[in-house]
Amino acid sequence: MAAEKLERILKLLAELLNASGPLTADELRTKIGMYPENLVAFRKQFSRDKAALKEMGVPLDVISVGSSAKSAEAYFLDNKRYYLPDLDLTDAELSQLNYASNSIHLIGELTEEEALRKLGGYSKQSVDLSASASIGDVDTFNRLFEALSQRKRASFSYASKQRLIEPYLLQFKGEHWYLTGREIETDSVKSFRTDRISDLSIDDTFDAYSLPDAFSGADFSYFSYGDDDEVEAKVLIDKSHVQWVESNLDVPIELNENGDGIAIFVVKNYESFISRVLLLLDHAEILEPDFLRQKLIERLKRLQDSSEGSNA
């Protein structure tokens, strides 16, 4: 399977798995950003990708949305039908699964097609190895997988802070792999990019914890994970930018009478959030909380002072 096609199908699968409801083809096209502009070419390629997912055993449902007069097809993937239940594997079986996972083009010694053959799949297409996922140190990724499969606690340095984590999930999004788990110190579920993890240490105790009945994976809006106290930020979005914010920031927007929108963001990284709002220039205004409004004003003042200083 060509690397570009593999990446596109992985992104399509990730969007469907992370979606809170059905998504239309146009919505998926916008979110993934790898389909051709030409409508006919897009439909052909999207149809082939859907067929590839079904061949992989992905339980993709097609749902009619909208009014009867203007109905459209939307696509939905039920996580409960996709993810495997607890297989109750033995230590030997877990070891074999770990070996198989480490063989899938993470160390550059196997092509995607060879890996698919080892796992029971098959592809006659030519292979392009020009693209690969960012996982950071391969040994770190492999040891995290071992910790997850054997329910071992992991300790590592992340963002200049030492963390003790009970690993829940490893998942791929865009160009990166993420580890999600419970941080012991804060007793909260957090997500971490694997390529930013360093000084990893795995505890020797097997089955040191149990997975919760329900938990969510990484929130991939980068301002939504960090070490700041979680707050809800209310932002006024100009009607000219409402569709862009909905598509690119994956946040629901409530429209007012003149077409402008109110968006609610969950923010755990204040500086990253301010940077995102600044990209919208005067098309967005932070309504609350007030301290984030003040942080935005302070950032603008620093930018102004810097500009005036460079022009002096």
111 shares its domain with 211: yes
| Residue count (the chain) | 312
Listed residues 47, 82, 117: the one ending a domain: 82
245 shares its domain with 195: no
Model pLDDT, residue 223: 65
For the cut 50, the answer to whether the pLDDT of residue 16 exceeds it is yes
Better-predicted residue by pLDDT, 272 or 66: 272
Mind listing the pLDDT tens digit for each residue in 154-186? 999 998 899 999 999 887 764 568 888 999 999
Is 224 a member of any domain?
A: no
Instruction: Report DSSP letters for 223-290, one per residue.
Output: GGSSSSPPEEEEEEE-GGGHHHHHHHH---EEE-TTS-EEEEEEES-HHHHHHHHHHTGGGEEEEE-H
Listed residues 190, 218, 246: the one ending a domain: 218
Model pLDDT, residue 286: 92
100 shares its domain with 183: yes
Beta carbons within 10 angstroms of residue 25's beta carbon: 17
For the cut 60, the answer to whether the pLDDT of residue 6 exceeds it is yes
98 shares its domain with 201: yes
Listed residues 82, 116, 133: the one ending a domain: 82
The confidence band for 202, taking pLDDT boundaries of 50, 70 and 90, is very high
124 shares its domain with 52: no
122 shares its domain with 144: yes
Is 225 a member of any domain?
A: no
279 shares its domain with 300: yes
Residue 181 DSSP symbol: E
Q: Which residues, in sequence order, are CB contacts of 198 under 8 Å at separation 6+?
A: 140, 156, 157, 158
171 shares its domain with 123: yes
Model pLDDT, residue 203: 94
Is 169 a member of any domain?
A: yes
Q: How many domains does the chain have?
A: 3
Q: Lowest-pLDDT range, 93-102, 110-119, 239-248?
A: 110-119
Domain harbouring 254, CATH code: 3.30.70
Domain harbouring 63, CATH code: 1.10.10.10
Model pLDDT, residue 310: 55
pTM of the model: 0.37
For the cut 70, the answer to whether the pLDDT of residue 131 exceeds it is no
- Give the mean pLDDT of 205-216: 84
98 shares its domain with 171: yes
* Segments forming the whole domain that contains residue 253: 231-311
63 shares its domain with 120: no
Q: Which residues, in sequence order, are CB contacts of 201 under 8 Å at separation 6+?
A: 154, 155, 156
Model pLDDT, residue 197: 92
97 shares its domain with 206: yes
For the cut 60, the answer to whether the pLDDT of residue 82 exceeds it is yes
